[in-house]
Amino acid sequence: MSRSPAVPLAPNVWRIPTLGRAAVNSYAFVSDDGSVTLIDCGLTRAPARIVRGLAAIGKVPADVTRIVLTHAHPDHAGGAAELARRTGAPVAAHAADVPYAEAGRKPVNDPAVTGGRFFARVDGGRFPAVEVAQPLVDGDLIDVGGGLRVVHTPGHSPGHVSLLHEPTRLLITGDALFNVLGVRWPVKWLCNDFRLTQQTAHVLGELDYDIAAFTHGPELTDSPRDRIRSFLLSQPH
């Protein structure tokens, strides 16, 4: 797996690892006018790695004109306030996660999952609060390189979204699914509602894409839709 600070996935689309080689990922989309849309901002300490990733593709923070969060968890929104400050870019997130992003605290863990109540007590889930300028809803088409479709996949958080870049046929699953030692569910006790995560992730098997990109784990480029569908069909609805 590449150690590059920015891994090319498709024309004008890069994965920027913010922890390890692919333990936590952000994504950069470059539009025809040279502007950058950044997807997710990693942990609080991630902005430095994101800036290095931007430099690797010939960009600087001032080129970032939009930040989109897949959900309001510390490993995705932790660096958002700092990057919004550095770039001046507005932040977008699903409307159901806006209160959490602006409070700087992730939604509660699923109390129905073993360990959920315990980790809810010991895991504060706090991060620097960030103002959300653009609340998103399911089906929104963000003007990014020909269109970035918002796919609401709640469960990991109430406003969790996956994102489908229709021109390049690239899907960002967010935390609806991980690709860590194979396609798998996110950590149960980190979900707001794990059963709902299992239910809504099935929409990812019905979309059309040629690349599946994950916020945890490397991308899949070899029949990713078939591999995701196979996993989902083997799981309970």
Can you give the pLDDT at residue 182? 95
Alpha-carbon distance of 187 to 190, in angstroms, equals 6
Can you give the pLDDT at residue 85? 98
Letter string b/e over residues 98-135, b meaning 16 or more CB atoms within 10 A of that residue's CB: bebbeebbbbebbeebeebeeeeeeeebebeebebeee
Letter string b/e over residues 206-220, b meaning 16 or more CB atoms within 10 A of that residue's CB: ebebebbbbbbbbbb
Can you give the pLDDT at residue 122? 45
Can you give the pLDDT at residue 112? 82
Q: Are 213 and 219 in contact (CB under 8 A)?
A: yes
Q: What is the set of domains in the chain, with CATH numbers?
A: 7-233 (3.60.15.10)
Can you give the pLDDT at residue 66? 98
The encoded tokens of residue 3 equal 């150690």
Tell me, rounded to whole angstroms, the distance of Cα 212 from its chain centroid. 12
The encoded tokens of residue 60 equal 């600087």
Longest Cα separation, the chain: 49
Can you give the pLDDT at residue 115? 58
What are the helix (H) ranges across the chain?
A: 47-56, 74-77, 80-87, 98-103, 116-122, 194-200, 224-233
Q: Are 67 and 95 in contact (CB under 8 A)?
A: no
Can you give the pLDDT at residue 236? 64
Model pTM score = 0.94
Percent of the chain past pLDDT 90, that is, above it, reads 88
Can you give the pLDDT at residue 34? 96
Sign of CA dihedral 136, 12, 1, 54: negative
Can you give the pLDDT at residue 3? 76
From first to last of its 237 residues, what are the pLDDT tens digits of the chain? Answer: 457 899 999 999 999 999 999 999 999 999 999 999 999 999 999 999 999 999 999 999 999 999 999 999 999 999 999 999 999 999 999 999 999 999 999 999 888 876 545 555 545 689 999 999 999 999 999 999 889 999 999 999 999 999 999 999 999 999 999 999 999 999 998 999 999 999 999 999 999 999 999 999 999 999 999 999 999 999 765
* pLDDT tens string 105-149: 999 988 887 654 555 554 568 999 999 999 999 999 999 988 999
Residue in 59, 84, 43 with CA at minimum distance from that of residue 51: 59
Alpha-carbon distance of 203 to 201, in angstroms, equals 5
Burial class (CB in 10 A: 0-12, 13-18, 19+), 4: middle
The contacts found for 116-122 with CB under 8 angstroms, 24 or more apart, are: 116/188, 116/189, 119/189, 119/190
Q: Are 40 and 26 in contact (CB under 8 A)?
A: yes
